[in-house]
Amino acid sequence: MKLLILENIRISLESIRSHLLRTILTVTIIAFGIMALVGILTAIDSIKYFLNENFAMMGANTFSIRNREIMVQMGGRRSDPKMYKRITYDQAVRFKQQFDFPAFTSISTFASHTATLKYKSEKSNPNVTVRGSDENYFITAGQEISKGRNFNESEVHRGAHVVVIGSEIEKLLFKTNEDPIGKIISIGPGKYQVIGVMKEKGSSIGFSGDRDCILPLSNVRQYFPRPDRTFVISVTVPDPLMMEQAIGEATGVFRIVRGDRVGQEQTFQISKSDSIAKMLTDNIKYVALAATFIGLITLLGAAIGLMNIMLVSVTERTLEIGIRKAMGATQRVIRNQFLVEAVVIAQLGGLLGITFGIVIGNVLSMILQSSFIIPWPWIFLGVTLCFIVALASGIIPANKAARLDPIESLRYE
């Protein structure tokens, strides 16, 4: 049996070599179908990996308490997030004082999303995010300081005019490689001394902080007043296994701080970084379904093309089939020969399509500066689909070849 299969494969390869142009066209059709399917699905896997990787940068052991649900909008699909009363400064401070769980707790708030920074003759665009925070913010936000230092408790308490800037701001304002530490820059109408520069994190779908500047919390409350200001509480636990316990403890403490009664729905939202990534990937799955549908339609066209070419092959090789039958080949042998040929052609197209699909899909990984993805599930799917396509498109030509009358076949030409 093994020798028969090997013989059929050898005959298939000889037939492929003798009809090279036709085989190349068939392989190309199949390769395009598989490339479309594997390429798009690999690109989607790259996006998922990128999301998980970058939200993990925020801390897999960090959660935040907000006054609203996080909204993720994909295309026309949108869900309105629940909004609760704002979290006041007093409530945030009371929580930090009463939350005695072994964890780091920070309080932060937005001052502006459109601030303009100046240093001497250099000036930024009005797109800098200004944020107020306490001394624990850099721990809970997963940020590191590459130059200078963090705030101390005294500076946070008295609202000192000091700032920690992002790496992109350093490059923008200090273009002559001047040391920014100790320099005075303008943020809006105020003057601030640079005491630190955050380590560059690159693009992270808006969460890198490279274009952020961080001020002491009390300074923002005093010099960036807003009547509806709300605060965000972030908690980082030392061990991810303690997350659920910490969230339960935080929920109980903050319900007391907010005055939520027993049986009443809580008036705040606790979210983890990985839950945001999950929301995004859940929306991406619809893109994956659409991509799969498009790829399958392409493969359907490839199957029709392969069947048509195999039928032509049967017609062209009628005399060959007659000779084989005259020499003792049975219908089963002839049928298997054409089926194996269809499988070989389909798998050649599949391997080519999988290779190009992986390359095209990982172009997105290069753009996102993410890791190289080898989508083993999609590779196996591509090989399986090629086998199914070969059987579906080869069975009719194979049966036609097997049923040919040997005498009629011998005098065909």
- Segment 13-37, tens digit of pLDDT: 777 777 777 778 878 888 887 887 8
pLDDT for res 20: 79
pLDDT for res 258: 94
Mean pLDDT in residue range 281-298: 73
pTM of the model: 0.60
Give the DSSP letter of residue 265.
Answer: P
Number of Cβ within 10 Å of residue 295's Cβ equals: 26
Number of Cβ within 10 Å of residue 8's Cβ equals: 19
Q: What share of the chain is helix, strand, coil (3-state, %, to 5)?
A: 55, 15, 30
Q: Of all residues in the chain, what percent carry a pLDDT higher than 90? A: 32
Find where tokens 């490689």 sit. 177
Q: What does the block give as tokens for 44? A: 């989607």
| Distance of alpha carbon 181 from alpha carbon 179, whole angstroms | 6
Q: Which residue has the higher pLDDT, 371 or 153?
A: 153
Q: Can you give the residue ranges of every domain in the chain?
A: 2-54+279-410, 62-271
Quote the radius of gyration of the chain (alpha carbons, Å): 32
Q: Where are the alpha helices (DSSP H) in 57-144?
A: 89-98, 137-140
- Segment 168-210, tens digit of pLDDT: 999 999 988 889 999 999 998 899 999 999 998 765 554 556 8
Number of Cβ within 10 Å of residue 279's Cβ equals: 18
Find where tokens 């549908």 sit. 293
CB-CB contact of 14 with 344 (8 Å): no
CB-CB contact of 234 with 207 (8 Å): no
